[in-house]
Structure 1
Amino acid sequence: MVKIAIMSDSHDNLQKINMSLGIIQNSDMDLIIHSGDFCSPYTAFPFKEISIPFIGVFGNNDGDKLNLRNKFKKIGKIYDYCHIMKTKDNKEILITHYPDMVNSLAKSQDFDYVVYGHTHRTLIEKKFKTLVLNPGTLSGDLSDKCTFMILDTESNEVNIIEV
């Protein structure tokens, strides 16, 4: 079983980042995925306090990409635009920030999961064989909720967690 915490659009909200990481740290996670819009490099500091591997992609509001990459370097990596990865149980995940290519990616049926952000709205939708996931936003901007997701790749169960 692989348990993955999925978050997006934290927009410098350290309080909600810390709250979500507190839940994640006590939930036996294998990986944290962030699908963009960290914003400032200082948002890396709370992630350094826990020992869970990290993968992220940049979003449209991530201006200081060099410093963001450097700050996250010890715990994981942040990629441009999108990243494709395989889990320990051989599931393929595509991570992006942008919703414009999500439907095409799902239709390709090349991925078990497509994770994206940007809209600040949670979404769990099966498209063909692909589970499309948007964890919403940790910032609360453009939404009345601050949310992230926990994915169990063995059961395909996804839980939306509100912080």
Structure 2
Amino acid sequence: MLVGIVSDTHDDLAAVEAAIDLFESAGVDAVVHCGDFVAPFSVTPFDAGFEFHAVRGNNDGEWAVESTVNAFGTYHGEAGTLSVDGVDVAVTHGTSEVVVDALVDCGDYDYVLHGHTHAHGVEERDGTVRVNPGGLPIPVAGADDAFRVATLDTAASGSAAVTHHRLDR
């Protein structure tokens, strides 16, 4: 099973469409958004024929984001867990590094997905892989210079199962 991972789209519809185009062309079965849609209008394009999961980001100021996601997917609130093809996943926005580290270090999950930093990355610690797909480029030290998303192939394992994609928007 192939899972698309995206975060921090911040109402940029060109970025949202670029992510969806990549996910559709790759044949993903599910997409997980790690928060910071910002407004409901940038949620609705994800109603695109794949299973959809999302968590709340610190910039998701409109509470209607929850009902918009729930109209076609699953909204997990501040954080959530899911099992995808036998792979246990925790998802949070990543505003708190303490929470992200606790989810990684507890050993209950194969993957911990988060965003917030706008910097893509993958790190494997004691059998758990932390994945940040990246996000829109922002003028903050350490942030990516381009929009990035990731895919997770559940047929593989560890950090080798994760691929980051740089997208033009």
TM over 0.5: yes
Match of 1:116 among 114, 117, 140: 114
How much has 1:145 moved relative to structure 2? 1.3
How much has 1:4 moved relative to structure 2? 0.3
Q: Is the 8 A contact 1:52 1:75 kept in 2?
A: no
How much has 1:78 moved relative to structure 2? 1.8
Is the counterpart of residue 77 in structure 1 residue 74 in structure 2? yes
How much has 1:70 moved relative to structure 2? 2.0
Q: 5+ residue gaps in structure 2? A: none
| Misfit runs of 4+, over 6 Å | none
Q: For 1:8, give the aligned amino acid.
A: S
Partner residue, 1:93:
89
How many pairs align?
Answer: 158
Three-state SS of the structure 1 residue aligned to 2:121 is strand
TM-score normalised by structure 1 residue count: 0.92
Aligned counterparts of 1:145 and 1:43: Cα–Cα separation in 2: 19
Q: 5+ residue gaps in structure 1? A: none
Matches within 5 A, 1:22-61: 22-48=21-47, 50-61=48-59
Aligned counterparts of 2:84 and 2:76: Cα–Cα separation in 1: 17
Cα deviation, 1:41-94, whole Å, max 9, x if unaligned, reads 10022112x1011000001000112x1122222320222210011112x11000
Instruction: State the Cα RMSD in Å.
Output: 1.2
How much has 1:23 moved relative to structure 2? 1.2
Q: For 1:80, give the aligned amino acid.
A: G
Identity %: 28
Q: Is the 8 A contact 2:111 2:129 kept in 1?
A: yes
